Amino acid sequence: MLLANGLECVRGERRLFRDVGFELDPGALLHVQGRNGSGKTSLLRMICGLLAPAAGDIQWNGTDIRTLAESYRGELFYLGHQNAIKDDLTATENLLVSETLAEAPVTRASARDSLDRLGLKGYEDLPTRVLSQGQKRRVALARLLFRERSRLWVLDEPFVALDPHAVREVAGIIADQLGGGGIVIYTTHQDVDLAAHQRIELRLGK
Amino acid sequence: MQPPLLEKEGNLLLPFRAPRTAQMNASAPIAAFACVVRRDLLLAMRRRSDVATTLFFFVIVVSLFPLGVGPEMNLLRTMAPGVVWVAALLASMLALNRLFSGDYADGTLEQLVLAPHPLGLLVGAKVAAHWLVTGLPLVLLAPLLGLAFDLNAKSLGILMLSLLLGTPTLGLIGAIGAALTLGLRGAGVLLSLLVLPLYIPVLIFGAGAVEAVAAGLGAGAHLSVLGALLVLAVFFAPWAAALALRISLE
């Protein structure tokens, strides 16, 4: 389904990695590893089409993702380094906006339910500016619950700032997605056990 | 279920519930456009001070001229259109920096780029919301300020009309510059250097419309040109800005 060929990444004058490739089928889990600065985030942004590879190509169902454009972006969920939530909006409003834009079926009630599930009960109507780092990350992660239809999840450090309880909850959501035939690509420096029938470890920068 | 119309501003977001049907949703782009406009208006409402600074800047710059020039009615009347237009230009310039920088800083811009909609459409929505909070107030305030320059009712009307046609063009052209300078050091100054020269046609025909009326000629030709510039900008600027955003995000 997702096929990457000979990817090369050059930032500034430095070549971060070259000749990176993989092939992922439905239900596959790709764990991208590497030291800080080895290009993990760059690789994830490439997979999303935010960054053009210096060489190589990425194909979704046999077609280059640049050709697919919007129809590929409809299949994709990207959780970046930044939480992509607005400080001046409440947690619920943030979810309503982001999921409406993604054409996911969202209602005020379902947005609140998903926030409750991530342990944000009682914080749904506060501006996210007053939340802690971990709570903000949870708001960002609540989007996962609306993206079962997205067949490709790209998660950049999803577990950062989360407590062990929340890590387990998120790991459970990811496991459900893999069980439903979704592809998940993620990076983490934490020791989280994620099981999948096809699990690939990719180490960048030697 | 949700309590209807109980929570305060939050209600603005309620119509966001877009029922997803199995067939391709033809109204989806419209829903996305409306969603971005509502979001940006709501954010502006929560940060009124940002909007107020632009307006105060406009009011203060325009009111400085009668104080500096002195009560020479004839002189003031001739320079009024130019002064109001230049102040409007600078005020929209001032607000431009904020168009994308907030979304860029917190990562929401990446999500806009990755949304399954044409990016030009979403950029258009952002510019529309931006104009509603920074451009429209200038249009509404202009006649009040024009009074200080002893403009007659007809000139005031044309001044408003020219601003109404011209300020959206300023926002649209500015969006390209704002997208190109996103995330650069010293982006503010660079943005002015990039965008102000492009504002010149709008300035000439905007101020010219009022002058033409004052001189007894019709303003029709000037206003038509302003309208044509606006149509051109509406069609091309969002796509150019979208392209620039993609480059800035790499």
Tell me what pLDDT residue B250 has: 86
Integer-rounded Cα Rg, in Å, for chain A is: 17
pLDDT band for position B12 (cuts 50, 70, 90):
very low
* pLDDT tops 70 at residue B6: no
Which of the four pLDDT bands, split at 50, 70 and 90, describes residue A115? very high
pLDDT of residue A193: 81
Whole-angstrom Cα distance, residue A68 to residue A63? 7
Residue B37 domain-assigned (yes or no): no
- Contact between A188 and A158 under an 8 Å Cβ cutoff? The reply is yes
pTM assigned to the model: 0.89
B173: containing domain: 48-115+135-249
User: Mean pLDDT lowest for which of A33-37, A123-127, B5-9, B158-162?
Assistant: B5-9
Name A26's Cβ contacts closer than 8 Å, sequence gap at least 6: A1, A151, A181, A182, A183
Name the residue among B141, B43, B130 with its Cα closest to residue B95.
Answer: B130
Residues B126, A150: Cα–Cα separation, whole Å: 26
Region B12-24: what's the mean pLDDT?
A: 42
May I ask the CATH class of domain A1-75+151-206? alpha beta
* A chain contacts of residue B116, beta-carbon cutoff 8 Å: 70-71, 73-74, 102-103
Look at A70 and B19 and tell me if their CB atoms are within 8 Å.
no
CB A87 within 8 A of CB A111: no
How do beta strands A55-60 and A63-64 pair?
A: antiparallel
The verdict on residue B125 lying in a domain is no
Cα gap B42→B148, rounded to integer Å: 33
- Interatomic CA distance for residues A5 and A3, integer angstroms: 7
Q: Tell whether the torsion through CA atoms of B98, B100, B102 and B105 is positive or negative.
A: negative
Q: Which of B1, B17, B250 to mutate to test binding with chain A, by most A CBs within 10 Å of its CB?
A: B17
Selection from B29, B183, B193, B49 nearest residue B103 by Cα: B183
Q: pLDDT grade, residue B19 (50/70/90)?
A: very low
Helix (H) or strand (E) holding A167: helix A164-179
pLDDT value of residue A206: 64
Q: Which residues of A touch B17 (CB under 8 A)?
A: 96, 100, 106-108
Mean pLDDT to the nearest integer, B156-185:
94
A193 interface with B at CB cutoff 8 Å: no
Mean pLDDT of chain A: 91
Report domain extents, chain A.
1-75+151-206, 83-149
Which residues are within 8 A (CB) of A41 and not within 5 positions of it... i.e. 6 or more apart? A81, A156, A187
Counted domains in chain B: 1
Q: Cα(B64)–Cα(B87) distance, rounded to whole angstroms?
A: 11
- The answer as to whether B36 is a domain residue is no
Q: What pLDDT score was predicted for residue A28?
A: 92
Which residues, at least 6 apart from A197, have a Cβ–Cβ distance to it below 8 Å? A27, A28, A178
